[in-house]
Amino acid sequence: MTPDGSMTPDGTMTPARMETIFGDQVDAIVGTPGAIQTRVDGVIIYLLSDTSSDRMRLVAAIASATHLRRRDLGVLLQANFDRTLDARYAISDGVVYSVFQHRISSLTPEQIRSALAQVVSLAKTFGSGFSAAGLAGIDGSSLGVSPER
């Protein structure tokens, strides 16, 4: 690792390099290493990292999940299957989130940029298209497989 912790000799992504690349994509960031925040197109985004498990997470809180109907949950699951690319909808502690998770060490700069666009897109299309940036959708029902009931 370089003295500033930005990269390893083999070019492996580090938390410091990841946060620098992330920071280059947005107007401003606040927070401390491992837990930084920004706002993109009106969406508050958090970049969280855990070096002990080599994991990162881009997260945007979208809405309360308390009033979601059973049908809405089905729509979120279907969107996760055929319209969300690498980011996903998730529910935790009564909140709907858009989230992207990945190993830090194998992350590429392109994946960071794409993940940011996807998380913002999922947040902005919640309640309408439920889709990631630039994805027209791959209809999972066209697989011709029906689940056993």
Q: Which residue has the tokens 């009931």?
A: 149
For position 26, what pLDDT does the model report?
94
In Å, how far are 40, 89, 101 from 46, measured between CA atoms? 11, 15, 12
| E strand or H helix at 123 | helix 109-125
Sort 136 into a burial class: Cβ within 10 Å, 0-12 / 13-18 / 19+. Answer: exposed
Structural contact between residues 98 and 60, judged by C-beta atoms closer than 8 angstroms: yes
Predicted TM-score (pTM) of this structure: 0.82
Buried b (16+ CB within 10 A) or exposed e, 59-69: bbbbeebeeee
For the chain (length 149 residues), average pLDDT per consecutive 10?
A: 52 93 94 95 96 97 93 91 92 96 96 95 88 55 43
Q: Provide the residue ranges of all domains of the chain, joining segments of one domain with +.
A: 15-126
In three-state secondary structure terms, 20 is: helix
Q: Which fold has domain 15-126?
A: Yope Regulator; Chain: A, (3.30.1460)
